[in-house]
Every structure is written in structure tokens, then in C-alpha cells.
Amino acid sequence: SKEKTEAISAAEIKIDELNTVLESATSQVATHKATIEELQSEISEIEQSVTSATEQRNKEQEEFQQVEADNTYAIDGLNQAIPVLRNVQLIQKGSDQKAVSAALL
């Protein structure tokens, strides 16, 4: 019958349309999967960079703290040496003056 033929024809058109939509969706899924893989790879690289940078910063921080401690120790030593050296210098000046006085007499 004519109605069945039209219904079949309409159904075939609808099937073709749905197949086109399905192919497009399948293509988009493949594209999105590829994009996801690329992004996951980028995320992995970024995470590795962050880990590496963090390790480097930690190492540099440790080195800085050691240098700072060494410098503080050296400064403390110099601050302790200054008064001693001043006293030695005063004693030497006093000895020189006594020697000059003795030579003049």
C-alpha cells in the first residue's frame, strides 16, 4: 500500500539521518579522545616540571640555608675578633710609645 511505502521511505530517510548523526558523533568522540590524550600528556609533562622545579627549589633552599649559616658563623667570628684585635693594636701602640721614649732617654 501507498501508506506503507511512504512510511518505509520516511523510516529509511530517518535511518540515513540518524546514521549521519551517528557517524558525526563517532568522529567527534574520536577527536575528543585524541584531545584528551594530548591534554593528559601535557598534564603529565607539567606535573613532571613542577616536581622537578620543586626539587630544585628545595635543593637551592638547603644550599642557601647552609651558606647563610656559614656566613652568620663567619660574621660572629669576625665580631668577636674585632675587640681582640683592637686591644692588640692598643697594646702595640703603647709598646711602640714606650720604646720611642726609652730611645730618646
Work out the pLDDT band at 102, boundaries 50, 70, 90.
low
Mean pLDDT for 31-45 is 98
Half-sphere exposure for 51 (CA within 13 Å, toward CB): 6
Instruction: Say yes or no to pLDDT of 43 above 90.
Output: yes
Give exposure, 41-76, as e/b (b: 16+ Cβ within 10 Å).
eeeeeeeeeeeeeeeeeeeeeeeeeeeeeeeeeeee
Distance from first CA to last CA of the chain, Å, rounded? 151
- Measured CA to CA in angstroms, residue 72 lies from 50, 55, 66, 69, 103 at distances of 32, 25, 10, 5, 46
Work out the pLDDT band at 26, boundaries 50, 70, 90.
very high
